[in-house]
Amino acid sequence: MEVVRDFLELAKNRYSVREFSSKKVEKEKILKILESAKIAPTAKNKQPIKIYYCTDDEKLKLLNESSPCEYNSQLMFVITYNLEECWYNSHTGIPSGIVDATIASTHMVLEAEDLGLGSVYIGAFNPEIVREKFDIPEQNQIAMLLFMGYKAESSEPSPMHETFKSDEELFDELKIR
């Protein structure tokens, strides 16, 4: 398998795009993005995720109504997980779904970046509007929206893109008591 570029370079170059061009995303790129989600690891390989996508202008408009984040995206994903299909931690009772959905979404945004597309995670949305307008089954919990597309020429990373906490604040070696 050929490595196209360094992973850290890819991860550093990816930023939250808040202005997309009106160019439509090609079907073959959408399929590659979906494939990246399919191969993402999930707890016990239960694969509880279900991903809905949209490129239709009317549907995009309806989806935009669920969120204050309108960035002219030409490709949107609704990332969901099924609580009945999740693995549950026997010690805490916590389902794996949100983590599984997040891992799949991370694969998707990195694949999009590798394909020359931009992306932004959307957490500010009304899930009931999405569920109602797109008939998403009750058992599928909506984790997030992902907006994708070609970056507008004026798109640039936020001023905070390269601002990080210090290593001392972020990392610490485990110690035995």
pLDDT in tens, the chain (177 residues): 555 568 999 999 999 999 999 999 999 999 999 999 999 999 999 999 999 999 999 888 888 888 999 899 999 999 999 999 999 999 999 999 999 999 999 999 999 999 999 999 999 999 999 998 898 999 999 999 999 999 999 999 999 999 999 999 999 999 999
Cα 131 to Cα 24: distance, rounded to the nearest angstrom: 25
What pTM was estimated for this model as a whole?
0.92
Q: Where are the domains of the chain?
A: 14-153
Q: What is the CATH number of domain 14-153?
A: 3.40.109.10
